[in-house]
Homo-oligomer: A and B are copies of this chain.
Amino acid sequence: MIRTNTAFLDFILANQDRYPKSLVQELSIEKGHKLIRQRSLVNAVSIINEGIAKCYLYQDDGTDFILEFFGPGEVVGEIEMLNNEFSFAAVEALTPMTVLRLTRDRFIELLTKDPVFNNHVLKLLAGKVKYKATRFSFTQTHTLEQTLTKMLEDMPDLLEVISKKDLVSYLGITKRSLNRTLKNLKEQGHI
C-alpha cells in the first residue's frame, strides 16, 4: 500500500552521466513539509529517493482523502506537468525525505529526448491507473473488515508506520469505525 518504483529510481541513480546532479537536484525535505499544494502551480517534478509521503485531496468540508502513500522511486508532479493544470492533490512528507527534483523544462526535455526516461514515465502512469482502479474497486465492494484484514496481511507493520489519523483518511471512514473494526479483528485473533 506504500507504493514504490525501484526500477525507476535505480535507473536514475545508476546513470549519473545522463542525469547529473546539476540537472537532477537532490533536496532534503522535512517531515510535514508539502511537496505540492492543492490547486497551485507545479513547476517541478520530484522523484522520491528516501522517505514516505502522502498524496491527498482535501474537500470543501475539511476532510482529507488520501489517494496514495508514496515511497522511493515514486514520482510526484508529473500529472500536473503533463496536463498543464493546477495541482488537483497535495503531497506532504510523512517522514524526513530526500527527493531528486527536475525543473519543468528539464522534465519536458527528458520526456522528448530520452526514450528510456519517457518509457519509465509511461509505465509509471500506467501503474498509477491500475493501482487506483484495483484499490477503488476493492474498497467499494468489500466491507471495512475485509479491507483492513487484507491491508494488515499485505503489511503487518501498518499501524506502526501509518498513523490512525492518516489511515482513516486513506479509507475514507471515521476514527470510530476504524477503532471498532480493529477491536473486532483483535478479538477474533486476526491481528
* Chain copies in the assembled complex: 2
The answer to the question of A165 belonging to the interface, with a C-beta cut-off of 8 Å to chain B, is no
> Would you list which residues of chain A between 82 and 133 have a CB under 8 Å from chain B?
82-83, 88-89, 111-112, 115, 118, 121-123, 125-130, 132-133
Q: Is B172 a contact partner of A130 (Cβ separation < 8 A)?
A: no
A contacts with B: majority SS? helix
Contact of A141 among B128, B136, B172 (CB under 8 A): B172
Size of A's binding interface in residues, CB under 8 A: 34
The answer to the question of A184 belonging to the interface, with a C-beta cut-off of 8 Å to chain B, is no
Nearest B residue to A125, CB-CB: B125
**Which residues of B lie under 8 Å from residue A78 when comparing CB positions?**
126
The answer to the question of A140 belonging to the interface, with a C-beta cut-off of 8 Å to chain B, is yes
CB distance from A171 to the nearest CB of B (A): 8
Q: A83-B127, A125-B126, A129-B132 are in contact. List 18 more A-B contacts (CB 8 A).
A: A57-B134, A59-B137, A63-B141, A65-B136, A65-B141, A67-B133, A67-B136, A79-B130, A82-B122, A82-B126, A83-B123, A111-B122, A118-B118, A129-B129, A132-B132, A137-B172, A139-B140, A140-B172
